Amino acid sequence: MGMPGILTHDVLKGPPPPPAEGGWGGDGSPEGFGASRKASFTALFVLLAASTMVFAAFTSAFVVRRGMSDDWISTPKPPILFVNTLVLLASSAVLEIARRTLRSGERSRFNAWWSAGTLLGILFLVGQALAWRELKDAGVFVATNPSSSFFYVLTACHAFHLLGGITALVWVDVQALRLSLGPAKRTAIDVSAVFWHFLDGLWIYLMILFYVWG
């Protein structure tokens, strides 16, 4: 100890190994309390656990509600969902390319790729809004049928998560375009990218749920 912990190692290579006796030395970061990469990732995984529980609860309600009743009529799914899925997958891939360009030190290319990934994320949300409009025009509302109730609840909850993710992506993008991405902020890049990939996987899961059981 003694030297300020977080600046003595390259944050992109991860934190220093823990002292032999366990414990992390309270980080000792001089630039703010606990602003450590490791804690940020712990927080991210804790958040993902909570989100997983929310969707697990919805899924169990879905399974029970479907299994117990005879009033379940499958809701026609708007075909635009497949386009949206491709857009979302593309956004994840583009963000991953952006992270690789940053790793090889090409800052300006990173900015372009990250901006593109962010825009694709926003485009996905627009696509989801179109899907809802299509359902609305077809006269399918929340209360129409249990399957439409669950469709709206699950897509809305996913979209709500996505709004949080997009806020993070935009924040990183603003920092990147201002060329103020110091080493500490690269944690924000990694955390928001992992969160975004999680939302990707979540959406694939929801698509399977809708098309197999919905």
Partner 1 sequence: MSSPVVHAHHAPEGFIRRYVFSLDHKVIGIQYYFLGLFSVFIGMFLSLLMRYHMVNPTVSVAWMAKLWPTAAAGGVMTPELYLSLMTMHGTIMVFFVLTTVPQSGFGNYMLPIQIGAEDMAFPVLNMMSFWTTFLALVVMIAAFFVEGGAPLSGWTAYPPLSAAGRVTGPGEGMGQNLWILSIAIFCGASLMGAINFISTTVDLRCKGMTLMRMPLTCWTWLVTAILGLLGFAVLLAAGVLLLLDRLAGSSFFLPAGMMISDRILADHKGGSPLLWQHLFWFFGHPEVYIAILPGMGVTSQLLSTFSRKPIFGYKAMVYAILSIGFLGFLVWGHHMFMSGMNPYSAMAFATLTMCIGVPSAIKTFNWLGTLWGGKIHFTTAMLFALGFVSLFVTGGVSGIFLGQPALDLYFHDTYFVVGHFHMIMGVAAIFGMFAGTFYWFPKMYGRMMNETLGKIHFYLTFIGVYCIFTPMHYLGIAGNPRRYSAFTDVEYLGGLIPVHQFMTYAAYFTAAVQLIFVVNLFWSLMKGPKAPVNPWNATTLEWTVPSPPPFDNFAGVHPVVNHGPYEYSVPGAASDFIMQTDPPSAVPSEH
Binding residues for partner 1, per CB under 8 A?
A: 1-2, 4, 19, 21-28, 30, 33-34, 36, 38-40, 42-43, 46-47, 49-51, 53-58, 60-61, 64-65, 68-72, 141-143, 146, 149, 153, 157
Smallest distance, partner 1 to C-beta of residue 53, A = 4
- Identity of the residue, 61 or 89, whose beta carbon is nearer to partner 1 in the bound complex: 61
Smallest distance, partner 1 to C-beta of residue 110, A = 26
- Identity of the residue, 94 or 202, whose beta carbon is nearer to partner 1 in the bound complex: 202
Q: Please report which residue ranges of 14-79 form alpha helices under DSSP H.
A: 37-68
- Contact between 36 and 27 under an 8 Å Cβ cutoff? The reply is yes
10: left (phi over 0), alpha (psi -120 to 50) or beta: beta
Burial of 9 (0-12, 13-18, 19+ CB in 10 A): middle
- Contact between 193 and 95 under an 8 Å Cβ cutoff? The reply is yes
Q: What's the sign of the alpha-carbon dihedral 165, 170, 171, 173?
A: positive
- Identity of the residue, 57 or 163, whose beta carbon is nearer to partner 1 in the bound complex: 57
Scan for tokens 């749920």, then name that residue. 209
Smallest distance, partner 1 to C-beta of residue 29, A = 9
Smallest distance, partner 1 to C-beta of residue 206, A = 14
- Contact between 75 and 145 under an 8 Å Cβ cutoff? The reply is yes
Smallest distance, partner 1 to C-beta of residue 15, A = 9
Phi, psi of 10 (to 5 degrees): -75, 115
- Identity of the residue, 39 or 89, whose beta carbon is nearer to partner 1 in the bound complex: 39
- Contact between 209 and 62 under an 8 Å Cβ cutoff? The reply is yes
Smallest distance, partner 1 to C-beta of residue 71, A = 4
- Identity of the residue, 21 or 137, whose beta carbon is nearer to partner 1 in the bound complex: 21
- Identity of the residue, 58 or 123, whose beta carbon is nearer to partner 1 in the bound complex: 58
